[in-house]
Structure 1
Amino acid sequence: MGKIYVVGLGPGSIDSLTLGAVERITSGDKNYLRTEKHPTVQYFKDKNILYKSYDYVYNEEEDFNKVYEYIVEDLIKESKKYEAINYFVPGNPLVAEKTVELLLNKSLEMDIISGMSFIEPMIELVGRDPIDGLKIIDGADFNSLMVDINVDIIITQVYNYRIISEVKLILSEIYGDEYEIYLVHNGGIKDEEKLHHIPIYKLDRIENIGALTSIYVPKMGRINKKIHDFNDLVAIMKLLRSEKGCPWDMEQTHESLRQYVIEEAYEVVEAIDNDDVEELIEELGDLLLQVLFHCQIAVDEGEFNLYEVTSDLGNKLIYRHPHVFCEKKVEKSNEVVYNWNKLKYAKREITSFSDKLKNIPRLPSLMSSFKVQEKAAEIGFDWNSVDGALDKVIEEYKEVIEAINDFGGGDRRTEEELGDLLFAVVNVCRFLDVNPEVALNRTVNKFIHRFEIMEEKSKIIGKKLEEMTLEEMDELWNAAKDT
C-alpha cells in the first residue's frame, strides 16, 4: 500500500497555499480532491495538473456519512495502486474534515500537510476573539444537542438551502428568531468575501449559498440574558450557595429540602392533570432546581458532584436498555419493564420476593400500596378479576362498621380496619389501571373547585356558609356539582 499525503488547500485564496501544499500539487503523484468547488483548484488548472474530484459522489448519495465512507474506501483502494497519492481538502485537514478523521482511524501510512483553516478568516471578519470559547460544528450533522449558548459557534458545511433551513429552525428554537448572527461567504478570498450580520429568521433568505458559506453564532451575553442552559443553572446555584449569595440558600441541607422535593413533584403532576403546558414548564423547572440544589449542597459538603449524578444516570439508562444499546430484541413495552426490573434487581443483588417488596421506596401510602400489590401480582397472588377486588372492598367496609360499633373512633383496631379498606380500594384502582394517588388528588382539586362555587353562590344569596345549616349547604353543593 502506498502513502497518502493529506493536504490542506487553505480557506480559498491561492495566496494562502503553503509551500508544502504547492510541493505536493507539483509532485507528480496522483491528485484526489474531496471537492473541486474551491478557488485554489484554479491553481491546478493554470498549471495543467490533473486531478480526480469526488464531487460526483455527493450527487449519487444523500447520506453524507456514506459519501465520506465511499471517499475513504476509494482512497485506500487507489493508494494500493501507487507508491504515493495526494488527497486535497479545503482549509486545514484536521479542522472539520470527516474524511480525514475516518482516514486517521485506519492503519495507513499517512502524512498531513497543514494549511490555514477557514477559522482565522472568519474570526477576522466578525471581529471576535475566540479566547472565551469557540465551538466548530458540521452543519450537515447539526442538531440541538451540539449547541452551547455560552461560547461562540461556527457552523460550517452549510452549502445548500436545505441544510441552511434545518440549521435555522434549530437556532430559532434556542436563540429566538431575532437573535443576530453572521453569515460568511468566501472567507479568506480577497475581493470575494461577503459578511451578512442578520437575525436568524433571515438565514435562508440570503443569496449565493455555496461550498464556502459558514455561519458564526456569537455566544449569549451575560447582561440581560433571557436564555439559560444547564451550565447557567449550575453557576446560578453555586452563586446562591456562596458567601455572596442568599442566606436562606446557604443554610439549607439535604434534610431541610426533603419536603420541597415532594411538593414540586406533586405540582408537576398537577400541571399534567391540568393539561397546562406553561405551568408544566415552570413546575419542571422547580423540580430540576431541587436536583441542582442537592448537588450543590453535596459539592459544598464534599459528598459528590453533578458529574457523578449524571454519570450514574447515564450508565443506568444504558445498562437497563440493552434492547437499544446492545441490540437485544424486545417487542412490547411490558417486556421492557420486565427487563428493567430484572436488571435493577441483579445490580442490587436482590433475589427473594420479600426483598423486592422491601426495595419499594417509601412513597406516599397510596402509591406504596399500589406498587406492593403490583409486585404480589407478578407471582400470581392476585384476584382473577376486578370482581374479587370489589367484593373485598365490601368485606372490608363491613369490618370497618363492626370496628366502629365495637371500639369507636380513635382506636387502633378501627384504624387498622380503615387501612384495610383503603388498601382494598387501591387494589380496585390497580385492576382498572387507575393511579390512586392521581385519582385522589383530582378529587381533592374537584372538591376545592366545587367549594369555591358554593362560596360564590352563598354571596349571591347574601348568607355566609358558616351561618347555613347542613341541608342548605348540601343544596349549594348539589348545585355546584351541576355546573
Structure 2
Amino acid sequence: MEFEALPERRKEQLMAFNRLLTIMDELREQCPWDKKQTIDSLRHLTIEETYELSDAIIEGDLPEIKKEIGDIMLHMVFYSKIASETNTFDIADVLNGLCEKLIFRHPHIYGDVKAETEEQVKQNWEALKMKEGNKSVLAGVPKSLPALVKAMRIQEKARGAGFDWEEKEQVWEKVEEEMQEFKAEFNVVEKSAIDTEKAEAEFGDLLFSLVNYARFVNINVESALERTNKKFIKRFQHIESRAKEQGKTLQDMTLAEMDVYWEEAKRL
C-alpha cells in the first residue's frame, strides 16, 4: 500500500519510527558514548531496561510502561544500526524477518489450518518451530532466564507438545507428594543434621510442582512472587518508620514489638 493511501494514524506511526531511526543515525555518528557502543556492551543495559518495564507493568503504571517500551525500542534500533555498519542486517531485515515468521507460525490466519482454541494455536506453534530446525521443544527456552520463569516456560513448552497433566487435581497431588518428600529430607521434627544436597534437590522438585500448579490455575509465578516481595518491603519499611518515630532502631526492638507494627502495617 502506498504511503499516501494509509490511514492518518498509521502515517504518524511510521513517521515517528522514521524520526527514531534518523536520531539513531545522528547519535551513532556524533555522540562519543553512542559511537563507542557494541552489541556486547548494550546487552546488560537491555536486560536492565527489560526489568524496569517489568516493574512498571507490575505497578500498573501506564505512563512508565510507555517510557520503558521506548527505552527498549531504542535498544532494538541500536542493535540493528550497529549490525548495519558491517552489512550484517539492518532494521528492515529484522522487521521483515519477524513478519515472515509471524505469517508462517499463524497458518490459521494466513493459511488453511484450523485452530479455534488457544491450546490448538500453541500446539501448532511448537510443531512449526520444530519444522524450522529446533532439535527440541525446549530449545527455545533461554538458558539465562531466572529459574522461576524458566520453570514456567519449560512447562508451557512441554504442554504445547502434549506432555502435561490432564486435571489440576493431579498436579496438586504431585505438590503434596513433593512436600512430603521434602519434609522427609529436611527432618523438620528431628534435630539431626540434614543432607543439604538432597534437601536442595527435593526443595527444587517442590518449587517446580508449585509452579506447575500455578500454571494450571493461571497464576503467573514471577508476578505473584514479586507482588509478595513488594508487600513485604512495604510492611517492613513501616516497621522501620514506626521504630524511628519511637527513637529506636530495629536492633533496639524485640521481635514482639516489631510484630505489633507488622500487624499494624497489614491493616493499612
- For the aligned pair, the TM-score class normalised by the smaller chain equals 0.7 to 0.9
Number of aligned residue pairs? 262
Match of residue 240, structure 1, among 22, 27, 48 = 27
1:307 maps to 92
1:271 aligns with 2:30: no
- Structure 1 CA distance for aligned equivalents of residues 222 and 250 of structure 2: 30
The correspondence of residues 152-167 of structure 1 with structure 2, limited to 5 A, is none
Judging changes above 3 Å, is the alpha-carbon distance between structure 1 residues 136 and 430 closer, same or farther for their aligned structure 2 residues?
closer
Deviation at 1:137?
Answer: 2.9
Deviation at 1:265?
Answer: 2.3
Q: Pairwise CA RMSD of aligned residues? A: 2.8
1:323 aligns with 2:79: no
Match of residue 357, structure 1, among 128, 133, 138 = 138
TM-score, length-scaled by structure 1: 0.49
- Structure 1 CA distance for aligned equivalents of residues 115 and 152 of structure 2: 26
1:294 maps to 79
* Bigger proportion of residues as strand: 1
Q: For 2:41, what is the secondary structure of its paired residue?
A: coil
1:388 maps to 170
- Structure 1 CA distance for aligned equivalents of residues 3 and 217 of structure 2: 53
- The structure that has the greater radius of gyration is 1
- Structure 1 CA distance for aligned equivalents of residues 73 and 38 of structure 2: 16
The correspondence of residues 98-113 of structure 1 with structure 2, limited to 5 A, is none
- Structure 2 CA distance for aligned equivalents of residues 471 and 300 of structure 1: 64
- Structure 2 CA distance for aligned equivalents of residues 408 and 425 of structure 1: 23
CA deviation digits over 1:443-465, x for unaligned, max 9? Answer: 12222222232222223333222
1:429 maps to 214
Deviation at 1:136?
Answer: 7.6
Q: For 2:219, what is the secondary structure of its paired residue?
A: coil
Deviation at 1:481?
Answer: 1.3
- Structure 1 CA distance for aligned equivalents of residues 102 and 198 of structure 2: 45
Deviation at 1:424?
Answer: 1.6
- Structure 2 CA distance for aligned equivalents of residues 467 and 422 of structure 1: 36
- Structure 2 CA distance for aligned equivalents of residues 274 and 235 of structure 1: 33
8 Å CA contact 2:46, 2:72 repeated in 1: yes
- Structure 1 CA distance for aligned equivalents of residues 234 and 185 of structure 2: 34
The correspondence of residues 18-417 of structure 1 with structure 2, limited to 5 A, is 137=4, 142-147=7-12, 229-242=16-29, 244-247=30-33, 249-326=34-111, 328-348=113-133, 350=135, 355-362=136-143, 363-378=145-160, 381-405=163-187, 408=194, 411-417=196-202
CA deviation digits over 1:290-326, x for unaligned, max 9? Answer: 2122222222344321111111011112222233333
Judging changes above 3 Å, is the alpha-carbon distance between structure 1 residues 381 and 311 closer, same or farther for their aligned structure 2 residues?
closer
